[in-house]
Amino acid sequence: MESLLMVKLVDGEACTLPQLELLEATARAVELVFDSGDSGFAIGVGLSNLLKCRLPATVCCLSHPSAHVRALSTSLLRDILHIDSLKSFPLQEDVRGIPVPPYHKLAIGTINWHADLEKCIAWEVQSRRAAGLTLALFSAAAKELGCAFPD
């Protein structure tokens, strides 16, 4: 049953297709959360951090034997690439003199999803080459996502 298909991710954890689907929904929600203004900033940062942490694992899925897993991973990565430079809010002190929360100090506006994705692809290509595995699926996925494929 494909809905229960386990995907071995790069960090050694198992991931099910529903988990990939949740990551895709997360990627689509990030811009909406940031558009809600300062109140959604902490949530948006958390969602972005989750996506950034799972980026290598998602890239690993681009060469999965299941066409469904590959398609879902590609769709998720396309959604991540679609995330615009997220709004940075000015650092301020609270009216009570409390310092700005740490998440406001993150340079969220500087996340370069495309560059991060290319780094993950390069790492996975190097790993697959070292293991003697095929790169055909990776090459096609990188091209489809508009990313450079390392020679």
In which band, very low, low, confident or very high, does the pLDDT at 90 lie, cut at 50, 70 and 90? Answer: very low
Measured CA to CA, the distance from residue 28 to residue 104 in angstroms comes to 21
Measured CA to CA, the distance from residue 30 to residue 39 in angstroms comes to 13
Contact yes or no for 46/75 (Cβ under 8 A): no
Measured CA to CA, the distance from residue 120 to residue 99 in angstroms comes to 35
pLDDT tens digits along 57-75: 899 889 888 899 899 999 9
Specify which of 35-39, 76-80, 95-99 reaches the highest per-range mean pLDDT: 76-80
Of 28-32, 81-85, 100-104, where does mean pLDDT reach its minimum?
A: 100-104
In which band, very low, low, confident or very high, does the pLDDT at 146 lie, cut at 50, 70 and 90? Answer: very high
Work out the average pLDDT over 96-116. Answer: 63
Residue linked to tokens 């681009």: 62
In which band, very low, low, confident or very high, does the pLDDT at 7 lie, cut at 50, 70 and 90? Answer: very low
* Tokens read off for 74: 């590609």
Q: How far is CA 6 from CA 18, 33, 52, 147, in A?
A: 10, 30, 21, 27
Q: 3-class DSSP state for residue 6?
A: strand
* Tokens read off for 97: 């003199």
pTM, two decimals, is 0.75
- pLDDT confidence of residue 4: 42
Distance of CA 21 to the CA centre of its chain: 12
Taking 3-state DSSP, the helix, strand and coil percentages for the chain, each rounded to the nearest 5, stand at 65, 5, 30
Distance of CA 18 to the CA centre of its chain: 16
Measured CA to CA, the distance from residue 68 to residue 115 in angstroms comes to 25
Of 16-20, 123-127, 131-135, where does mean pLDDT reach its minimum?
A: 16-20
